[in-house]
A and B are shown apart, each in its own frame.
Chain A
Amino acid sequence: MDIKKILADATATLGVSGHEAEVAAYFAEQFRPLVDEVKVDAMYNVIARRKGNGPKIMLCAHLDEIALMVTKIEDDGCVRFGSVGGVDPRILPGSRVWVHGAKGKLFGTIGALPPHLMSAEDRTNNYKMDKLHVDLGMCAETVRSQVRIGDLITFNTPFTELANGQVAAKSLDDRACVAILLRAAERLQKLVCDADVYFVCSSQEEVGGRGAMTAAFGVEPDCAVVLDVDFALTPGCGPDVACPLDAMVVTHGPFIQPKLNKRLIDCAKAHNVKLTQTVAGRSTGTDADEIGVSRAGVPVVLLSLPEKYMHTSVETISLDTLEEGARLLAHFVSELDAGWEEDLWI
């Protein structure tokens, strides 16, 4: 499995929250040789099952991405937009984008007024989304013949390799973690595994865990591991909120089942996988929140991949950490035995 190629292809594939058909089809194909059955459900969740007779475990990473959406076409042809998921308006000026119109995707750029034309005060304020526009280089009539309200706008940033095995791209949140699922599925082929494993690439996480909520209802797992990105250390993003880039992260807190979490931490120790730890006093802000309260409740743990510059078009991760995450996940699943639930709550 060429993880770099998978990341490059996956991050270039369209899959905005609620519109994940393309990226879901891509990941379904990647899973097909590694599991017994694959389906894409009504919410565009990819659900890949590796059959087993042991406990039913759901491994979940989301496949959707944040993006922009056309809200208005002005009479001068410029395209106004809103956001799908949490897009920081500061990243937009000077960005290149794809506008996914009725007849295919169009190259566009998000313009910014040059500072020469701004007042001193304006220069000190960040742009607000409703003051920005996409310039398609077309007149209004041409734009209106190809672009409709509600059309999607995605970032046009190529996959980039940095030094020391780091890679940057858009939507590595959370497709890098889907890659962990794929790699773990591959590793499980060489391990003993009783568990009935459901790999779920969930939709609509960026708008509130909607895909994971419904997937968990459908799968009805005994327990779950959620994989998502967490903040990595960068200038201005210190150890009080962020973790080193080079180790997977486990989370403590009310939403995380403590005994299952201990099992994960012990598993990492046994296999020499480096972990760091973080704490969420309540919501984890990931699919774990929704999966945990599915049906009668699902014991859940969260395993996070550190990522620099989250929710930008240059999200950056370490491939080595990704590999270690997959190794840990595969061992954890492989070692999940029938007795996992004993004394879970005592």
Chain B
Amino acid sequence: MDLKTLTEINAPSGHEQPIRRALLAELKEKGFEPTIDRMGNIIVVKEGTGEKPRKRVLVSAHMDEVGLIVTGHTEDGFLKVTQAGGIDTRVLISKRVLVGDDNIPGVIGAVAIHLQSAADRARVMGYREINVDIGAKSKGEAEGKAPKGTYISFDTPYVEYGEGFACGKAFDDRVGCWTILRLLEEELPCDLVAAFVSEEEVGCRGASGAAFSQEPDIGIVLEGTTCNDLGDIPEVAQVCKCGSGVAVSFMDNASIGNRELFRKAIAIGEKEGIAHQVKSSVSGGNDGGVIQRAREGIPTLVLSVPCRYIHSPSTVIKLSDAESQFELTRALLKAL
């Protein structure tokens, strides 16, 4: 399965069924025996080729993406929504969306600029003011087509452009899912516990269950991370750069990376000539936090693909960084 297919599947946090179905089919076709746990995570265990006792390494990526969820309906047929995962309302205005499993097209509009006061122009619209318009003429019609609890995704197809870049939605973290699918094809010395986890974007819930039930010796989280390398951001304030390779984290708001793993990843990158960079910011949080604190504690490391405009309908990555994520993770797994 390619990155285009993976990112174009709509599956916001809590509604991972579509991506889960697609991944299950793919894994079964390749001869694996995936299981689903109580959090809805997909787990594949692939035994290593090394001598026993082998390290049991959890490599996780989250299946879910940020999206919206229907909370109500106006009398004239608009959908009221809130976020399922963190979306800044400023990226929603004038965007197209797909509503529900039937992918009903919808748009998010706003009051025309002509009709806005100076204060309106400066003000950020909150979710109370955001309406999704599917063309319904009445509350009843809107309720029928998109009842409360219906999930909504960005309608932005995957496009490759420029010098090796790709633009789309859900790179965070289908790019990690893609890397895991590729790692499963590899012969590795350690036992690989591949986990496609749920609900990262609403608080790293899936991974917490997977780490508990799988009891790994080490956890490696494959992520998409924030990247602000263009525009007027001074170099020292840049988190990482698109095109400079996989980003290795020393610390974020959820975990402090295991120092030994951190140094090992950097050393392997240097030695094998795999493009890599240190994620030079303490920002965000991800499944590393809950994996590290599962049970009696698990050394963890987060390896991320830089994503410009993350959590927006048009996220941008450089494809070579995804390649580096795959290569560095593979090399690290071979060296554990």
Contacts and interface: CB of A to CB of B under 8 A. Distances in A.
A/B touching: CB–CB < 8 A: yes
Interface of A: 239-240, 252-256, 258, 277-279, 281-283, 292-293, 295-299, 344-346
A346 B148 contact: no
List the 5 closest A-B pairs by CB distance, nearest first. A254-B14, A252-B149, A297-B209, A297-B39, A296-B213
Contacts of A253: 14, 69, 84, 149
Given A239-B72, A240-B80, A281-B84, A296 B212 contact: yes
Given A254-B84, A255-B202, A278 B38 contact: no
Contacts of B209: 293, 295-297
A266 to B, nearest CB: 14
Nearest to A277: B148
Given A240-B128, A254-B69, 16 more contacts: A254-B15, A258-B15, A279-B69, A281-B71, A282-B84, A293-B209, A295-B212, A296-B209, A297-B40, A297-B206, A297-B209, A299-B38, A345-B16, A346-B20, A346-B21, A346-B36
A283 B203 contact: yes
A293 B149 contact: no
B156 interface: no
10 contacts: A253-B69, A255-B14, A255-B202, A279-B149, A293-B208, A295-B209, A298-B38, A345-B36, A346-B20, A346-B36
Majority SS at the chain B contact face: mixed
B38 A279 contact: no
B17 interface: yes
Nearest to A341: B38
B66 to A, nearest CB: 11
B205 interface: yes
B304 interface: no
A254 B17 contact: no
Given A252-B69, A252-B149, A279-B149, A346 B17 contact: yes
A256 B39 CA distance: 11
Contacts of B128: 240
Contacts of A239: 72
Query: A277, A293, A346 — which one has the most chain B CB atoms within 10 A of its CB?
Result: A293
A239 B205 CA distance: 30
A279 B14 contact: no
A282 B72 CA distance: 16
Nearest to A298: B38
Contact of B40 (A252, A277, A345): A345
Interface in B27-78: 36-41, 64, 69-72
Nearest to B14: A254
A173 to B, nearest CB: 22
A292 B205 contact: yes
B70 A345 contact: no
Given A240-B80, A279-B71, A252 B202 contact: no
B286 interface: no
Given A240-B72, A282-B203, A258 B14 contact: yes
B13 interface: yes
Interface string B171-210: 0000000000000000000000000000100110110111
B68 to A, nearest CB: 8
Contacts of A292: 205
Nearest to A256: B14
A344 B213 CA distance: 18
Nearest to B295: A295
Nearest to A282: B202
A282 B13 CA distance: 9
Nearest to A283: B203
A108 to B, nearest CB: 40
B215 to A, nearest CB: 10
